[in-house]
Structure 1
Amino acid sequence: MSKRLIPYQPMDLAEPADLVAAIRKRRGGQFINLDRMLLHSVPIAEGWNHFIGGIRNHLSLSPKLRELAMCGVAVLNGAEYEFIHHAPPFREAGGTEVQVTALRLLGEPNFPMELFNSVEQDTASLTLQMTRFIKVDPILMQRLQEVLGNTATVELVSVIAAYNMVSRFLIALDVTPEEHS
């Protein structure tokens, strides 16, 4: 196993105390490897904890659609770490194991759209369009706005944009699943 270019901060990191406590609180008392990498920069870790914490915990958007989009971004960008962390909340929000397996095919011609309801299909399509092509079909956006309303549509777009940032950070810094630290 090769040495990491940028090592993770230690699991028992204590400073800066307020930030470490806030991250641990959001994570249920512990760090994950993403946190340990972010903590190389206090301003980045502070902003990330606040912004991503808000996206994870304070949106009106359905948790199932939120996690579907996060899993979709992970697959499209090849961010396995992200997928591992978001497939369980997708299941907890009502996603099935068949849907989790299907999400691994997002972006492929054989993606089984029929396993998802219409708003989930549109969420998958939006995730694909925003992640791979940047530009989004205005008819798709109109359908989402009609079903979700303004707030949840803005939140869905924000989730996809934010988790594209997350996956790019994870991949560039080779953040690995916790059991492989």
Structure 2
Amino acid sequence: MTERVQVTRNDDRSARPRIQPLAEEQWDTRTRALLATANQDPGGQIPNIFTTLVRHPDLYERFLPFGGQLLHAGRLPGKFRELLILRTSYNTGASYEWGHHVPPAKEEGLTDADIERIPRGPEADGWTDLERHLISAADELHCTARLSDATWDALAAHFDDADLIEITMLVGQYHMVAYFLNTIGVQLEPGFANTGFVDGAREHE
């Protein structure tokens, strides 16, 4: 049985976001405090994802520690974390997410060739067996909201229980972020590129 997943890509940077980032002149004391710990882009600016999400300060305040735990203090090796995030970015058509995670993916050891073949999926030549299983995990969670026994068993041979929990939560986190980014139309800032991001639909067998 073939399950077809239609992915709509939207990378029109000239399009106006549905909700604009909150301009600095509109920041109140609480907003400034919340944004003070946000990661800055290469130009020293706070990324649009944060200045948009901070319009809901209570949600922002609770979201950031959870995202930070997965991104900066998680158990997974950085290379595997970024592989899962980039595959999820591709699966969800989240070009903003992709653009922000290519640089750290390279820092963590993914090569240009690795990044270029992420859209080709787990069957692309060049992956190790473990990388192939991780990509399959991202795909299965995207399509069925669960891991197959085969993928679970393959990952369980390399990861402990806490790692396996983190894999599912990481993919889920970046689905949630993609829903926000794609729906609001958050625009990618100067200094980031969508290199390697592939438009179009794909199928899962």
Q: Same fold (TM over 0.5)?
A: yes
Q: Give me the whole-angstrom Cα distance separating, in 2, the residues matched to 1:2 and 1:125.
A: 33
Partner of 2:37: 22
Confirm or deny that 1:169 pairs with 2:183.
no
Q: Give me the whole-angstrom Cα distance separating, in 2, the residues matched to 1:135 and 1:150.
A: 16
Q: Give me the whole-angstrom Cα distance separating, in 2, the residues matched to 1:32 and 1:11.
A: 12
Instruction: Give the superposition deviation at 1:73.
Output: 0.5
- Paired residues, what number? 174
Q: Secondary structure in 2 aligned to 1:176?
A: coil
Q: Give me the whole-angstrom Cα distance separating, in 2, the residues matched to 1:20 and 1:141.
A: 38
Confirm or deny that 1:72 pairs with 2:87.
yes
CA contact (8 A) 2:17 2:187 kept: no
Unaligned runs of 5+ in 1: none
Q: Secondary structure in 2 aligned to 1:115?
A: coil
Greater than 4 Å deviation, 4+ residue runs: none
Instruction: Give the superposition deviation at 1:80.
Output: 0.5
CA displacement 1:76-102 (0-9 Å, x = unmatched): 110000011111111111111011011
Q: Secondary structure in 2 aligned to 1:95?
A: coil
TM-score (norm 1): 0.87
Q: Secondary structure in 2 aligned to 1:50?
A: helix
* AA matched with 2:63: W
Find 1:85's aligned residue among 85, 97, 100: 100
Partner of 1:95: 110
CA displacement 1:5-63 (0-9 Å, x = unmatched): 3211124645313212122xx44764101001101100111112111111111111110
Q: Give me the whole-angstrom Cα distance separating, in 2, the residues matched to 1:94 and 1:117.
A: 14
Greater relative contact order structure (CA < 8 Å, 6+ sep) = 2
Q: Give me the whole-angstrom Cα distance separating, in 1, the residues matched to 2:48 and 2:21.
A: 7
More helix per residue: 1
Q: Give me the whole-angstrom Cα distance separating, in 2, the residues matched to 1:143 and 1:168.
A: 29
| Identical amino acids, percent of aligned pairs | 21
Unaligned runs of 5+ in 2: 1-13, 192-205
